[in-house]
Amino acid sequence: MRGDSASPVVAWWAVGPSGQVTFLDGVAPELLRIALDPLPVGAPAVVEFHVADSVSLRDVVDVLLVELDRVAIELFPAWLPGAERLESAHSLGPAAVRALAEGVAARSENFRPFLADLAERGLRGQCGGGAAFPAALRASGLARVIADAYGRSTSTLLIVVPEGIRQSDERALVAAGEWLAQYGRMAVWLAGARLQAVDHIRIAAVVLPDSLTQLAVESQDRIGIASEGSLPGSALRFAPLAGVPRADSHAELKLERALSPHDWAQGRQWNRTFEWHLLGKQYRLDLCWLVDGVIVEVDGPEHRGRLQYADDRRRDVQLQLLGHSVLRFTNEQVLSDVGAVTARIEQLLRTRRAAGQHRSEERQHADH
């Protein structure tokens, strides 16, 4: 008797195709953020949008385009191979980066003048440009370069629907998402408060890995309700790139500047993905010296949420069981007294090195 072939396993993030808006049912935005950090292999590049209290359709679209432009500039040069060797101060830098961008555009669907302009502004660190190009062209171009920065084939916008949103604002928010899905050719996810005024949006149930579902149970939080104070104002949050401080964190950037002159700080790695067990959830380490077993976390406001707090404690315990020491600092601590933070890191590194409390990475991975 011939049995039916097994159905292919569909990843939890395969919930909505490009060009479509989908409401993610049964999952809090905070839990989604944990599930997407680090960004799973095969998942799209995801940027998360928190909208301000006052919403209109025109405002949301304009804010989204400005914010997507900022993300693209801050992710430069990750989306333009070869641009990392160029310097904005050099007289030939702008011309060279435009030539690089035009070459990429010629081999892809990118619009050559738009990509060249974006690349030059990326080299100069100039956000807020591109207004000379049509909005639809900007949307598709920015969605494409954000995906390229992470080596993904597509990008997705996660819009957090705030609790207590007015019906008119809800309609405007959904319409803005539909506009971006159509013209940006990206998937748009809605999560958070259930929609009350709009009933034509596709709803998809999200089944996260058991470890994350259990996290919600352990934290005594209901999965469908956000438990955090969301990011302030209208802002896009995006995943950090491996090997460098996250571009949207003033605290990480300041700490890197403070560490860079010191010999004892050599060997540090920023935003490294760490796989401690084949079946365990991978961790993204803000800052680490894995050879010395020292891990430093720089916590922004999102770490005050109940789910994120529970996840932080869970992973800290696991890392400590593996023999690592974990230091946590808030953004405010780093920004207000980076010298004290640097001194604490140095003290721990020197203590572990003197005591021989470290192993090579190769041995560590062999053991775990």
Predicted local distance difference test score (pLDDT) of residue 156: 97
Domain ranges of the chain: 21-76+125-238, 250-367
Structure tokens at 74: 């801050």
Over residues 195-220, the mean pLDDT reads: 88
Predicted local distance difference test score (pLDDT) of residue 129: 86
Instruction: State how beta strands 45-50 and 235-238 pair.
Output: antiparallel
> pLDDT digit string (tens) for 164-179?
888 988 999 999 999 9
> Is the pLDDT reported for residue 230 higher than 50?
no
Predicted local distance difference test score (pLDDT) of residue 223: 43
Indicate the fold that domain 250-367 takes in CATH.
Endonuclease; Chain A (3.40.960)
> pLDDT digit string (tens) for 258-270?
999 999 999 999 9
Q: Which of 177, 214, 175 lies closest to 197 in space, CA to CA?
A: 175
Higher pLDDT pick, 228 / 281: 281
> pLDDT digit string (tens) for 2-42?
334 444 457 889 988 899 999 999 889 999 999 999 999 89
> pLDDT digit string (tens) for 292-323?
999 999 998 888 888 999 999 999 999 999 99
3-state SS of the chain is: CCCCCCCCCCCCCCCCCCCCEEEEECCCHHHHHHHCCCCCCCCCEEEEEECCCCCCHHHHHHHHHHHHHHHHHHHCCCCCCCHHHCCCCCCCHHHHHHHHHHHHHHCCCCCHHHHHHHHHHHHHCCCCCCCCCCHHHHHHHHHHHHHHHCCCCCEEEEEEECCCCCHHHHHHHHHHHHHHHHHHCCEEEEEECCCCCCCCCEEEECCCCHHHHHHHHHCCCCCCCCCCCCCCCCEEEECCCCCCCCCCCHHHHHHHHHHCCCHHHCCCEEEEEECCCCCCCCEEEEEEECCCCEEEEEECHHHHCHHHHHHHHHHHHHHHHCCCEEEEEEHHHHHHCHHHHHHHHHHHHHHHHHHCCCCCHHHHHHHC
> pLDDT digit string (tens) for 124-145?
999 988 889 999 999 999 999 9
Higher pLDDT pick, 280 / 307: 307
> Is the pLDDT reported for residue 251 higher than 90?
yes
Residues 28 and 302 sit within 8 Å (Cβ to Cβ): no
